[in-house]
Structure 1
Amino acid sequence: MVQAVAYSNFRKDLKSYMRKVNEDSDMLLVTNTNPDDDVVVMSAADYDSMMETLRVYQNPYLRNKITHGLEQVHQGRVQEHALFDDDGSGAAA
C-alpha cells in the first residue's frame, strides 16, 4: 500500500522520506490541497525497473516470448541446465 504524506510534512523532512522510499522500495504519495498537484515519489531503481517492465510489455515479440515460456513452465515442459560463467566455460559459479 502506498503511504501518503502532506506536502508540508514532506518538505520539512525531505531527506528522511527519500531514505525511506529507497530503503522500503515503496512509493510515497505526496498530497497537496489541490489534488491536481499530488505527486508520487519512488526510488530511481524502482522507476528504472518499472520502465523496463513497461518496455518489455509494449514489445509484442518479447511479451510473446515471456507468455510462451510461462506456458511451458505451467505445462511442466522445462529442462534444467548449468549456467555459463562469464568466461564462457560453462562452469556455474
Structure 2
Amino acid sequence: MEAVAYSNFRKNLRSYMKQVNDDADALIVTTTDVEDTVVVLSKRDYDSMQETLRVLSNDYVMDKIRRGDRQFSEGNFTNRELIEVELDD
C-alpha cells in the first residue's frame, strides 16, 4: 500500500483516483497530524469489503458456508454437468 502526502494528493487528485481504481490497491493519504490520515480505496473495493463484512456477520449464511465446506472436505458431494440453456432473442 502506497502512502502520499496530503498536499501531493490534492495536487494530483485525478491521477491518484485513477491509480487506486486501476491498481485495486488502497492509498494512504498522510498529514502532519496522524489523526487526520485517511485511506482511499475504489468504490468497487469498498463495496466488496462491505459485502464480505455482511456475509461474515450473518450467522445463518456462515453456518451454510461452514456446512458446505465440511461436506466438500469429507467428499460428500456430487459433480453435475452444466446444462446450457439457449435464450430466445
**TM-score higher than 0.5 here?**
yes
Distance verdict in 2 for CA 1:50–1:35, change over 3 Å: same
The higher relative CO (CA closer than 8 Å, separation ≥ 6) is in 2
Alignment of 1:1-93 (within 5 A): 2-83=1-82, 90-91=83-84
Deviation at 1:74, TM superposition (A): 2.1
Could you say what secondary structure the match of 2:53 adopts? helix
Measure the CA separation in 1 of the matches of 2:6 and 2:81: 51
In structure 1, the gaps of 5 or more residues are 84-89
In structure 2, the gaps of 5 or more residues are none
Measure the CA separation in 1 of the matches of 2:57 and 2:34: 30
Could you say what secondary structure the match of 2:4 adopts? strand
Aligned alpha-carbon RMSD (Å): 1.7
Could you say what secondary structure the match of 2:46 adopts? helix
> Deviation string for 1:17-53 (max 9, x for gaps)?
1111101111111111111101110000111111011
Measure the CA separation in 1 of the matches of 2:81 and 2:50: 30
Q: Percent identity?
A: 51
Q: What is the total number of aligned residue pairs between the two structures?
A: 86
Q: TM-score, normalised by structure 2?
A: 0.85
